[in-house]
Amino acid sequence: MVIYLAGEVDEEARLDEMSPRQIVSELDKHVVGQRNAKRAVAVALRNRVRRQKLAPEMAVDVMPKNIIMIGSTGIGKTEIARRLARMSNSPFLKVEASKFTEVGYVGRDVESMIRDLTEISIEITRQEKSEEVAEKAELNVEERILDLLLPPLRSNAGYFDFDSETSEEETTEEADSPAKDEQFQRTREKLRTQLRSGKLDNRLIELEVREKNFPVIELAGPQGVEEMGINMKDMLGNLFQGRTKRRKMRVDEAIEYMMQEEEERLIDMDQVARAAIERVENSGIIFLDEIDKIAGRESGHGPDVSREGVQRDILPIVEGTTVNSRYGMVRTDHILFIAAGAFHVSKPSDLIPELQGRFPIRVELESLTIEDFKRILTEPRNALIKQYQAMMETEGVTIEFTGDAIDSIANFAAQVNQQTEDIGARRLQTIMEKLLEEISFEGPDLEPKKQRIDAAYVENMLAATVKDQDLSRYIL
């Protein structure tokens, strides 16, 4: 059965209908500060919606305004992108630029990111379609299950060669009178009610299932493992598709199995593929993380992969090219690229000029202050403090944090960042873990059930470790 998970965004707040201001305020619910970066991504996204409303002759020439986000570690670059992904119904892929290698080297080729993005798009498009056909599929499945539980009278009696499970109440003999027919219908409806209420879930029925256990073969070709491997799997899959065997399973399992079958039958995969590709081409977003790791023009010595080489490979994709995916050709001209990096060692100007030109928007993310830390601890929808409270609540323990405790946690985090390495808001996670060590461990045995964490408690748990620089290097 299809389970609908409640989305994070209200139904009406779909990304493509949101104004930049709304996008920013949606991001505000999760990411503290970083106003400029939020505004930049909001505008970039809105521009694509605007482009799609243009006359086609003009739309082809409007290129996406790709973005580079610059900022040190742990200050929200990925977080902004992650949130954007969740609220968008655009295909979204996050990749590390440093994962790619030049053409000719073993490793992931840059085109694989487009293929991956297409897979994601296929998945969300298929998911949408399956929601569309869910109702119809459910009805079909219900009928099929009823047919199995109570084989139809005339038509193909004898086709179902099982009896023990189904004929306890009803016989499958020929119906020769309208009365019998009517009785049959009544029983069927009775069964339907029971089936819907789940009363029959534990019953066993036997059905035809397709054999699916084709051998796993891994092939690495010049295009990388994925492409070849997947195509091989498809071919083999088709080869084995025809074979079926009979299997007994519980009714609830059978429903799940048949739902999949029905969905496959009701969904036109060619149509899904076309829609998915169009979606990638017009609204796909690729988040290229760690772009700074491939900046720099020196090309090393020996057989090393050169960073410049990777940049040269990425260039056509950002500029617009056609990539062959297993669902068809994908044009990359209008895919939005958001690159991010700390740029501590290298600078955006160390990227090859052509690539720089393709990322016209630069935004710098600000370092986080103690004030920001306090807000990050408490304000976002699933802020750290709320997470810990909810986790402990599952064991009946209520934790209360006083205001001065929050101040103190933020202060310690800033202090450790300064003393050792600045890892931004990630420090809050290590600090919180240490702070709640005792409480987490005691868990259900904790007394009293109401725990109050104040500045003194924070001090007591953290001060010693923070003061000892060596210790904090390892523990916090």
What whole-number distance in Å separates Cα of residue 75 and Cα of residue 344? Answer: 14
Rg (CA), the chain: 29
Q: Is 339 in the site for ligand ATP (CB under 6 A)?
A: no
Binding span for ligand ATP by CB under 6 A among 1-9, 20-28, 177-185, 422-430 = 422-430
Cβ 385 to ligand ATP, closest distance in Å?
Answer: 12
What whole-number distance in Å separates Cα of residue 283 and Cα of residue 336? Answer: 7
Cβ 342 to ligand ATP, closest distance in Å?
Answer: 5
Binding span for ligand ATP by CB under 6 A among 187-195, 236-244, 271-279, 421-429 = 421-429
Q: Which is nearer to ligand ATP, 31 or 399 (CB)?
A: 31
Q: Is 378 in the site for ligand ATP (CB under 6 A)?
A: no
Cβ 465 to Mg ion, closest distance in Å?
Answer: 26
Residues 382-411 that bind ligand ATP (CB under 6 A): none
Q: Is 380 in the site for ligand ATP (CB under 6 A)?
A: yes
Q: What is the dihedral of CA 364, 418, 410, 26, to 10 degrees?
A: 10
Task: Choose the contact partner of 376 out of ligand ATP, Mg ion, none; CB within 5 to 8 A by kind.
Answer: ligand ATP
Binding span for Mg ion by CB under 5 A among 42-50, 72-80, 214-222, 306-314 = 72-80
Q: Which residue is nearest to Mg ion (CB)?
A: 78
Q: Is 78 in the site for Mg ion (CB under 5 A)?
A: yes
Calculate the CA 256 to chain-centre distance.
Answer: 23
Q: Is 414 in the site for ligand ATP (CB under 6 A)?
A: no
Q: Is 76 in the site for ligand ATP (CB under 6 A)?
A: yes
Q: Is 342 in the site for ligand ATP (CB under 6 A)?
A: yes
Instruction: Please select the residue that binds ligand ATP; options are 37, 70, 141, 376, rule is CB under 6 A.
Output: 376
Residues 423-442 that bind ligand ATP (CB under 6 A): 424-426
Residues 176-235 that bind ligand ATP (CB under 6 A): none
Instruction: Please select the residue that binds ligand ATP; options are 37, 67, 75, 399, rule is CB under 6 A.
Output: 75
Binding span for ligand ATP by CB under 6 A among 31-39, 226-234, 404-412, 433-441 = 31-39
Query: Please, which residues have CB within 8 angstroms of residue 312's CB and are 6 or more apart in sequence?
Result: 102, 352
Q: Which is nearer to ligand ATP, 99 or 331 (CB)?
A: 99
Task: Choose the contact partner of 79 out of Mg ion, ligand ATP, none; CB within 5 to 8 A by kind.
Answer: ligand ATP
Q: What is the dihedral of CA 406, 409, 414, 420, to 10 degrees?
A: -170
Cβ 236 to ligand ATP, closest distance in Å?
Answer: 39
Instruction: Please select the residue that binds ligand ATP; options are 26, 79, 227, 263, rule is CB under 6 A.
Output: 79
Q: Which is nearer to ligand ATP, 323 or 384 (CB)?
A: 384
Instruction: Please select the residue that binds ligand ATP; options are 77, 126, 279, 307, rule is CB under 6 A.
Output: 77
Q: What are phi and psi of 78, to 5 degrees?
A: -65, -35
Q: Is 27 in the site for ligand ATP (CB under 6 A)?
A: no
Task: Choose the contact partner of 34 out of ligand ATP, Mg ion, none; CB within 5 to 8 A by kind.
Answer: ligand ATP
Q: Which is nearer to Mg ion, 41 or 145 (CB)?
A: 41
Q: Is 282 in the site for Mg ion (CB under 5 A)?
A: no
Point out which residues bind ligand ATP (CB under 6 A): 31-34, 71, 73-79, 342, 376, 380, 424-426
- Residues of the shown chain interacting with Mg ion in the complex, contacts defined by CB under 5 A: 77-78
